[in-house]
Amino acid sequence: MFWFALAVNTIAITVLSYVLYFRRHGRRDLLLAYVALNTGIFAVVSMLTSREVGLAVGFGLFGVLSILRLRSDLISQGEIGYYFTAIALGLVNAVAAPTPWTLLGLDALLLTCMYVADHPHLLARYGRRVLTLDVVHEDPVSLRQDLEARLRARVGRIEVTEVDYVRDLMVVDVRFRVPRPVSAPAPAGRGRPRDSVLTPLTDWLGGR
């Protein structure tokens, strides 16, 4: 069962790191990090489960993993999600090697969750920015209006993280939603476009 679990783990981390992550985000360095981390965890946990190793060794391994941080470069919260999924795949495939159907089911669950959660079209109109403004707004209403004019979007939550009266600037964490694009009107004298007939139905299905 070890070789079957190894083959499944190789396929799973290839799908996660290349098909899902690299094709969407394009960072080759993190692709290598995910593959190396997953393969190393799979090898070590497979050794621990196949031999009589003390429980303290296992706790020591997970203690090292819990304090491991990628200090070489800044990574986003989404990339941290891929990071922990790569760890989970290595652990699952090593521990669940004697039960192939459980192994396959958990791998499929993890990969499906990452595919759906990181899909480019999921909540694509929602965004977050950390902005440094060259003006200090004392009035929350004027701050919101200024941010909406700069972002050209509807601002939701605003969190002021820094105010500097000496340099006359402020840093804000903004959550916003980009409005739907407005389609151009049909030329005069022509019939109603086919897409405009379906627009009310698609807006209703989209929860507009």
Look at residue 62 in the predicted model and tell me its pLDDT: 59
What's the pTM value of the predicted model, to 2 decimals? 0.69
100-110 pLDDT, tens per residue? 899 999 999 99
**What is the percentage of the chain residues whose pLDDT exceeds 90?**
23
At 157, give phi and psi (nearest 5°): -90, 135
Give how far the C-alpha of residue 118 lies from the chain's centroid of Cα atoms, to the nearest Å: 5
> Strands 169-177 and 154-164: what pairing?
antiparallel
Residue with tokens 């004298």: 189
User: Per-residue pLDDT for 201 more than 50?
Assistant: no
31-42 pLDDT, tens per residue? 888 898 899 888
Distance, CA of 127 to CA of 142 (rounded, Å): 21
66-87 pLDDT, tens per residue? 555 555 456 777 888 898 899 8
Nearest to 170 by CA among 161, 178, 179: 161
Residue with tokens 């499906």: 112
Tokens representing residue 86 in the block:
């790569």
User: Per-residue pLDDT for 206 more than 50?
Assistant: no
